[in-house]
Structures are given as structure tokens and as C-alpha cells.
Structure 1
Amino acid sequence: MPKHIKDPVHGYIEVPADLVPLVDTTIVQRLHHIRQLGFAYLVYPGANHSRFEHSLGAMHLASLLCGRLGLGESETKTICAAALLHDIGHGPYSHASERLMQEYEHFSHDDISIHLADPAIDAQLKKISVSPDEVAALVAGGHPHSGIIHGDLDVDRMDYLLRDAHYTGAPYGNFDTGRLIQSLEIVSGKLVLNQSGISAAESLLIARTLMGPTVYYHHACRIAEEMFLLAGRSHFGSDATGVEQFMHLDDVTAAAVLLNSPSATTRDLIDRIRTRRLYKRSVYAGRELVDIDHLPQTKESVNRMHQAIVETASVRDEDVILDIPPLRKEIRMDVLVRRHHDLVPFNEIVPMLEMMNATRHGQWRLGVYAPAELRDRVGEAAREVLSLRHATKQHKLTGII
């Protein structure tokens, strides 16, 4: 029998009978205990939703879209299984631990092959005649129908924008999912947007752009994530195997590991996050104040700059966090739009992409963070070492988001 689950975003979600045993596996149930938005709960107290409910939401939207596209029962079952399982590769605190793992070896949460090899998952997929290799390809982007799960207008993005907006209270993530799904079709094996769905697609683009600085890159979320990374480096040192094992934990068990670390630095940082005694912004500079071309590009050069700030400020290494994020990738919409009898690239019809990308570039910030009592001292040292330009009134105005 199928199960019906009440969801605050989509209403009732039906889990097909074939997929119910997948939902009940340990690997999927683990997602109950991984926050969808990592440390965003420190800013938005309602942001305690989990990867589990997002996975159900993505599966629900995948089912609706498969029905709209007229896909067969076997294809629909495989795609819905992929949507349900697409996040099982996430480690504790979602993207925060992914960044930690990437410092030790190549890692992507979209590569779920190792998790699909779990005996319980593998047995259940084969029992319902779903290929684990096909599921992995759908999630990683190497399948003819990957656009449903891993594309520019995918069900993953549709669900997380709506869900994150709902739980944070931020109004910027809302758009017409129903209209968007009803406007998608398959032409020559590719997912194509009907002209009637352009406004819904534009709304999704705007949501992606505005949710960035408001939620995903909010400075307090960024600071907590950087503190978590510093705690992880201090705890694991060069132990890549330990980090790999850590990635299989959930938020609660991961916090317990770090709170009981032999490293005093790790224990202090995790306790600060738990009690919201976060580091403060000593420097928080946009592109107009930073010489982007002369920023350090390698881990070694970043470490040297960090050390220079530490020495100039006469503080401990762990009292300074230098955060130089990569420039945000430009939004690209490799989607064709059906306009009358023609298929036209989305970019030719919707010129707002250039504006959206300019806005995303303007959202970039270089940060130097320190404990509250050291904020001013570290800030002076950082401005000297980084040779930051002085902000003009115009710069201050353009830096507001």
C-alpha cells in the first residue's frame, strides 16, 4: 500500500508502495537528522527542516513532472527513486562537511554510488526492478532524464527554494511550481519549456538570486560554517580516513564527536556554535574594496596571508578566520523554449540573466572573522595585510543588498 504523508509545503505526498521500503532504510532515515540549511537556524530559528522532508518533496514533484511528461511506469519509478535518494550523499551539516571533505580529497554529494551499494538499498532497488547505476546517473547528471533531477529547472531546486522560504520565513523563494511543471515537455529527448512557463522560470531565477544573500550566504551562516571547518581541521589534522567516516554521521553524532575532541580548539569552536557565541566580522568587504586579481589563489598562499594577519594582530592562529569565497558561478540556462513551432534558447528570450549574474557578482564578500573581543585588533591588521581600499559613500551604498 502507498503511504500518504502530510507536508507543509506540498500538502499530502504519496509515497508509492514500491518506494516505501526505501524510505524505511537506515540511510534514508539518517536524513531526518541532517538539517537542510546547515547553520541557518542560528539566523532563522524556524530553519530546522531536514534533508529527509526535502527528499520526499523532490520525489513528489518528480512524480508530478513524470506524469506531465507522459513517462512510463518503469521510468517514473526509477526517476522517483532517484529523487528520493538524491541527497543520501550529504554529510552532517549538509554543505559544511562537504567543504571539509573536499579539503582532503575530491568529493561530491551528487556521487551516491557508494551509498547505493549498501545491501539494504541495493536489494530494495533490485526488488522493484530499478537499476542502481541508472539512479546514480540520474543524480550525477549522466542520464537522458537527468534534467528532471539535476538540471536548470529540476525538482530538487524547485523543492528546496519553496521549502527554505517556508521555514525561514524569507518571502523571496516563492514561485509557481505548478505552472512551471505544467509548462515542461520532452522534445527530441530533451526537457523543453513551453512559452507559457517563462514567467514561472523567471520567478525561479529571481528566487535563486535573492535567497543567496538573505539565507544561503548570510554572514552569520557563513561565519558558523567557517568555524565548523576550522574545528574539523583541528580535530582531524591529516586523517583523511577519519573525515571520510565522519561524512556518514548525522548532525547530532557529528557534534558529539567534535565536542569530545582531544583538540581544545575544536571543543571551543563547536561549543561557541552551539551557544551562538560566534566570531564577528572584523572585515567584510565587497569586490569594490578588494583587488580580486591579487587575492591568493592557492591553499598555501591563503595560509601565508592568514599567518600575516595573525602576526600583525599578535593573536593566536585560531583567533583569525580568513574567508575568501570563490566568485559565485554565473547562472546559465541551457534550456530551449518552445515558441509557436520553434525552439529558441532561453537566454535569447529572457535578457534578465545578465542582470541576475551582475547581482550575484555584487553579492560576493571577503570576510575576516575573530572573537568579539579581538574584532577591532584583527580588523586593523587585516586591512593592512589585505591592502583594502577605503570605502567611499558610493561604495557603501552599492554594497547594500
Structure 2
Amino acid sequence: MARPHDTETETMEVAYKVFNDPIHGHIELHPLLVKIIDTPQFQRLRNIKQLGGAYYVFPGASHNRFEHSIGVGYLAGKLAKSLQKKLLRLPKPKPEITESDILCVQIAGLCHDLGHGPFSHLFDAMFIPKVLPDLAVKWKHEQASLMMFDHLIVENKSELEKVEDWQVLSNNQDFIKELIVGRQDGQQKRMNRYKEKSFLYDIVANKTNEIDVDKFDYFARDCHHLGIKNNFDHNRFIKFARLCKVDGEYQICTKEQEVGNLYDLFHTRNSLHRRAYQHKVTNIVETMITEAFVLADKHLKFEGAGGNIFTMSTAIDDMVAYTKLTDNVFEQILFYTLTVLDDPRKVRELTEARKILMDILSRDLYKCVGQLYSEEEIQDTKAMQHKLAVDQGNPPGNNLKPDDFIVNVIKMNYGLKDKNPIDHVRFYRKSDPTKAFKIPSGQVSTLIPGHFQEWLIQVYCKRTDVEGEILRAAWDRLENWPQLRMNQPEPEADKGPNST
């Protein structure tokens, strides 16, 4: 396999394509990666917003899964090459990172998000659980990514075969799919290379400590577009990353001085969730979009393989139909032409769906009643809805009902539930770069978090005609609710378009 610096300049300019990325600058990609990018299945990602409904709150959040996936593919190769270079300094016996391994890791990074549906996580975390509750736990976008990856290869095989290194893809298809999802139970039995090169599974999707190039790219890219400061420096991590033996297996480790940089990574993750991903207005918008999608689900049709017709929800079973499913469904609902011949239920549900989407565009949103944090998960949201709707002297005509309220319970953590991810990271010292060790949190700073998981409870009212005083009275009824920590300040009212 030819590498960029192994070829003459003229050949390199023809074989390798240069992308000018706002986050990583000018990056070169292998021609096989370029062929994958130029397929309809990958180009589909141009029309799926990286941050879903956050675009209706943060006007800069217009970036898509397309550029993020290219960034992850680039960083996956950059980290793999950095580890390969440092292997030369390790004593034998030692693992080998081949050029084929690097290309496989790059392909995995490039294709890891192929399965995202309209508005990214809104589709698999909110829409699918509503319309297909039996699949809520089983079906995730990662599963669709593997299906779309297989579909991409089948549909574009004649073009992909034109690339000299096509065999790397065809011979390692299962390995690449496992790199996409990271370490899984039983994987060691299936892959004979797993034990020797287990660290490769931690580059794109790190299930050991959540430090991977997927986060490196979307932290930097999302912060850039949201206007939020990113304190984590992924280039420093890549520069100081090396392989050390841990419990008989080689693991990606970093220099002990980088422990503060890694805490900044997880602080940035937490900050992005609090300030953008779980922003109260972002979640209101996504809740409304989900309701519109549920109403329109059975009435939007997508042609799949063999001419079979699928709805939005059933398209997850057919990648030909799923390829056509993008953020454009928002406009499909908005501009759907109804006729007098249409079924009355179809007319009613599409009209309701259209009304919801028009409300979003005109900023007539559900009202945020309040939000707070809990140290324990809240299970009985129905009881909270009933408590909010209890009649305590409400003015006649308001008639608030439990279903007028929406209670969202959102898990907030550093990525490993209630555990500190840094406890699962190994470090090395300059004096002995082959020996790995842990750094207890007490040796870092007394200011780092003592708890790593909590729940955010957000309460909305679907009735936009209800006065603020009535909603405040409803919120006050939760004051003595068991398990809730009520010392969080009440959120400010939404002050206008794109208010954050």
C-alpha cells in the first residue's frame, strides 16, 4: 500500500484527495476513503444535522454528520499512525500496526455514523421508542450503521474495486464493523487478532474509558459551531499517546502530565450537555419534532428494495428506503399536499403534524415550567404529571391536565455511568515509558468532581395559552417531591428567537 510520503508529489496529488476542514485544516485521505465518501449512502449524511434540534436554538449549529464523519476518519488514522511510529521504540516481542490496520481504522471512523436517522439522536432516542417501543432498547443507530455499511459495499462494489487497495475493505469487512462498535462481549472468540491488537478497538469507539477520536472530533467541531470554549486539546493526547502493556494486553496510554487535559475532556463533555445538547429549548424543539414525526409516520412513504414501500419507522429494516430518510422529512411534512380524496385520519394527523412544525418555525413553543437535578433516577413521571396538574385554585378555564405536561428525565454523566473514566486510563512516565500505572483522583486536584452521574429533570407544558403564574404555582407543587434536589436556580424564560 502506497503512503502519501512514499510517492512522488505528482502521483500523490492524483491519488490522495485534500479536504480543507475548518477544524483540522488541510487533510489528505486515501483514495479508498474518497470512493466511500462519494457514494450515495455516505453523501446522505450531508442532510442530517449533527446536533438535531439544537440548530433551532444555536444558529451556528448548522454542521452535519457528513463533515464530522470525515473528521473522525482523519483522526482515527492520525492516532493509529502515531501509535505505529512509537512502536519502533518498544522492545520485542511487540504488536505490529500494519498499513492495512490503519486503513481499516480510518474506514471505521469514516463510516461509524452511517446509520443516523433524521435529526441524529432524535430519531433513535426519541422517535423510534415512541412508534416501536419493543425496539427501543434493541435498535440503535450503531446497528443501522453496520447495516448501511454492508449495503454501501454491495451497492458500490464495482466502483470500490477500481481502487488498488480494495482488498483491504473486502477482506476485513467484519473487522471494520467491529471497530465501529468497539469492544463487545464474545468478540475475542470471533477475531483471532483481537488479543494482540485489542487497542485498535479503542480508537473509534472506546468502551473502556470513553476516550476516542469520535469525541475528539465532535467536541472540537460542536464547540466551534456553538461558540462554546473547548478546553481539551486532542492533538496533545495524540502526540503523547503510546502503547503499554496492561494485564497482558497492549493498551493506549498517555503521559502522566496529560491527566489534567483528560479531565478537561470530560468537563467539556459535561458542559456541552448542560449548555447545548440538553438545553431546555433544544429539548422542547426536539420533543415537538418527535410528536410531528409520530403523527406523520404512517403517511410518508419511502420505496425500498424490490419496490417495497416503507414508512419512516419501518424503513430501518431496509437500507434502500433508509438511504432516503434525512432531515428533509421535516419539509415533506410541512409541504405535503392533501386532497379531498385522502383518508380523514391522514388529513387530521398530517394537519396536526404540520401545525406543530409551523409552531416551531414561528417560535410558538411549549413552555419550560422548570428544571432541576436529582442524585437518583426518577421512575414515576406519571405521578409528577398528576402532581403538576392538581387543582389548587387555578382560575376557571385553564383546566390543566396531566397530559398537558411533559416530564423528561435525562441521565447526565462523564460517560461511564457513576464511575470516573480517568480511573480506567493508564499513564506512563518519561523516565520509564513502557510501564503503565493509574493516577488516583486525589493526586490530581481536590477540585475535580466527587460524583460522576446525576439526572436532569425538565418539565414542559404543551399549553402555550397558560399564564406564567399558573405554571409557577404548578412547579411549586413539586417542592417537596421525594429524591429531588431543588437547589438549582429556576431557568430564565425564553426571550426570543435563538435565545440560549
TM range (shorter): 0.7 to 0.9
Which stretch shows the higher mean deviation, 178-187 or 228-237? 228-237
Partner of 1:120: 155
Instruction: Report the Cα offset of residue 382 of structure 1.
Output: 5.8
Higher fraction of helix: 1
CA distance in 1, matches of 2:446, 2:228: 22
TM-score (norm 2): 0.68
CA distance in 1, matches of 2:388, 2:325: 34
Matches within 5 A, 1:269-308: 269-287=356-374, 292=376, 295-296=379-380, 302=381, 306=385
**Change in 2 beyond 3 A, CA 1:252/1:229:** closer
- For the residue of structure 2 that corresponds to 1:110, the secondary structure is helix
CA distance in 1, matches of 2:490, 2:404: 30
CA distance in 2, matches of 1:98, 1:353: 38
- For the residue of structure 2 that corresponds to 1:41, the secondary structure is helix
The one of 233, 256, 280 aligned to 1:219:
280
Partner of 2:227: 169
Instruction: Report the Cα offset of residue 163 of structure 1.
Output: 0.4
1:290-327 C-alpha deviation (Å, 9 max, x unpaired): xx56641xxxxx45754775686635787432222245
- For the residue of structure 1 that corresponds to 2:238, the secondary structure is helix
Partner of 2:262: 201
- Confirm or deny: 8 A CA contact 1:212 1:218 kept in the other structure: yes
Partner of 1:38: 52
Partner of 1:25: 39
- Confirm or deny: 8 A CA contact 2:373 2:488 kept in the other structure: no
Instruction: Report the Cα offset of residue 122 of structure 1.
Output: 6.2
Query: Is residue 48 of structure 1 aligned with residue 62 of structure 2?
Result: yes
Instruction: Report the Cα offset of residue 375 of structure 1.
Output: 5.4
Name structure 2 gaps, 5 residues minimum.
Answer: 1-14, 85-96, 184-193, 301-309, 317-321, 337-345, 392-397, 493-500
- For the residue of structure 1 that corresponds to 2:101, the secondary structure is helix
Identical amino acids, percent of aligned pairs = 24
The one of 327, 333, 336 aligned to 2:426:
336
- Confirm or deny: 8 A CA contact 2:407 2:460 kept in the other structure: yes
Larger Rg: 2
Query: Is residue 95 of structure 1 aligned with residue 121 of structure 2?
Result: yes
CA distance in 2, matches of 1:303, 1:397: 24
CA distance in 2, matches of 1:133, 1:318: 46
TM-score (norm 1): 0.84
Which stretch shows the higher mean deviation, 6-15 or 278-287? 278-287
Name structure 1 gaps, 5 residues minimum.
Answer: 297-301
The one of 379, 394, 399 aligned to 1:314:
399
Instruction: Report the Cα offset of residue 252 of structure 1.
Output: 3.6
CA distance in 1, matches of 2:271, 2:214: 18
Query: Is residue 255 of structure 1 aligned with residue 330 of structure 2?
Result: yes
Q: Which amino acid aligns with 2:240?
A: S
**Change in 2 beyond 3 A, CA 1:45/1:166:** same
**Change in 2 beyond 3 A, CA 1:169/1:133:** same
- Confirm or deny: 8 A CA contact 2:71 2:217 kept in the other structure: yes
Partner of 2:6: none
Instruction: Report the Cα offset of residue 244 of structure 1.
Output: 3.5
Which stretch shows the higher mean deviation, 341-350 or 304-313? 304-313
Q: Which amino acid aligns with 2:406?
A: I
Partner of 1:299: none
- For the residue of structure 2 that corresponds to 1:6, the secondary structure is strand
- For the residue of structure 2 that corresponds to 1:373, the secondary structure is coil
- Confirm or deny: 8 A CA contact 2:389 2:402 kept in the other structure: yes
Instruction: Report the Cα offset of residue 389 of structure 1.
Output: 5.3
Instruction: Report the Cα offset of residue 207 of structure 1.
Output: 1.2
Matches within 5 A, 1:321-360: 321-326=406-411, 328=413, 329-330=417-418, 331-333=420-422, 334-339=424-429, 340-341=431-432, 342-347=435-440, 355-356=448-449, 358=451
Partner of 1:136: 177
1:30-78 C-alpha deviation (Å, 9 max, x unpaired): 1111111111122211110111101111111111111101132100000
Give the number of aligned pairs.
Answer: 386
The one of 84, 103, 106 aligned to 1:80:
106
Instruction: Report the Cα offset of residue 251 of structure 1.
Output: 4.2
CA RMSD of aligned residues (A): 3.4
**Change in 2 beyond 3 A, CA 1:65/1:396:** closer
CA distance in 1, matches of 2:173, 2:128: 24
- Confirm or deny: 8 A CA contact 2:280 2:458 kept in the other structure: no
- For the residue of structure 1 that corresponds to 2:75, the secondary structure is helix
1:185-236 C-alpha deviation (Å, 9 max, x unpaired): 1223322222243232222122112222111111111111122222233334
**Change in 2 beyond 3 A, CA 1:355/1:250:** farther
